[in-house]
Structure 1
Amino acid sequence: MQFIAKQPYIKVVREVKVLEQKDTEEQRYMYLYEDKIVTKYREFPLENVMDISYRLTGEKGMLYLHTLKGVFAYIITSSPEQFIAAFKERTYRTTHRN
């Protein structure tokens, strides 16, 4: 299945050893498909996603997936406007059928 839109996000991975703590940023992607949104470890059926919002502050920001199971936040470094527009177009078409 081909994805409709793709949004990069960052995951901060923290590794704690006996005498040190190391934070590493991993570049990951969120994919919008016809019926779901997929991240590296999660899958959200579109019928469970109520909205997507974001806030950019400087170079980084947060993307929020508002779902029936709570709000999931992702760190972003670029505008997600195209991803959100594709999501809204897809969900509008499925909720406003003729």
Structure 2
Amino acid sequence: MNSIAALSYYKVERNISGLEQTIHKQDRWIYLYQEKVVTAHREFLIQEVFDISYRSMGGDGGMLYLHTLQGVYSYTITEDPQSFLEAYKALVHE
């Protein structure tokens, strides 16, 4: 099954052991399909997604918010999500 749109996001994990803190940045993807939205660890049926919104955080990137039946999930992104948002809006208004 081919995705309609894809958008990269990242997750930052901080680990503290003893006196040392390590930071790991994991690059991940969110995919929009005809029937669902899929992230690295979650999958939502398209009818369970109420909206997808974006808020710029100044400089590069911002937060993408996935408003779902299970709650609101946030994803940190660095690229412009406009084409992803337009693809979602076109899909739900078919």
Letter in 2 for 1:67: T
Deviation at 1:69, TM superposition (A): 1.2
Deviation at 1:58, TM superposition (A): 1.1
Rounded Cα–Cα distance in structure 2 between residues aligned with 1:60 and 1:19: 31
Please show how residues 11-90 of structure 1 align to structure 2 within 5 Å.
11-56=11-56, 57-90=58-91
Identity of paired residues, percent? 47
DSSP-derived class of the 1:10 partner? strand
**Aligned residue pairs, count:** 93
Rounded Cα–Cα distance in structure 2 between residues aligned with 1:2 and 1:81: 20
Cα distance per residue 1:1-36 (max 9 Å; x no partner): 111100010111222223222111111110001100
Give the CA RMSD over aligned residues: 1.0
Q: Which runs of 5+ in 2 are unaligned?
A: none
Q: Which runs of 5+ in 1 are unaligned?
A: 94-98
Structure 1 segments, 4+ long, off by >4 Å, are none
Letter in 2 for 1:42: R
Letter in 1 for 2:80: S
Cα distance per residue 1:22-59 (max 9 Å; x no partner): 11111111000110010111101111100011011211
Rounded Cα–Cα distance in structure 1 between residues aligned with 2:92 and 2:50: 9
Letter in 2 for 1:65: L
Contact in 1 for aligned 2:61/2:80 (Cα 8 Å): no
Q: TM-score, structure 1 length as denominator?
A: 0.89
DSSP-derived class of the 1:52 partner? strand
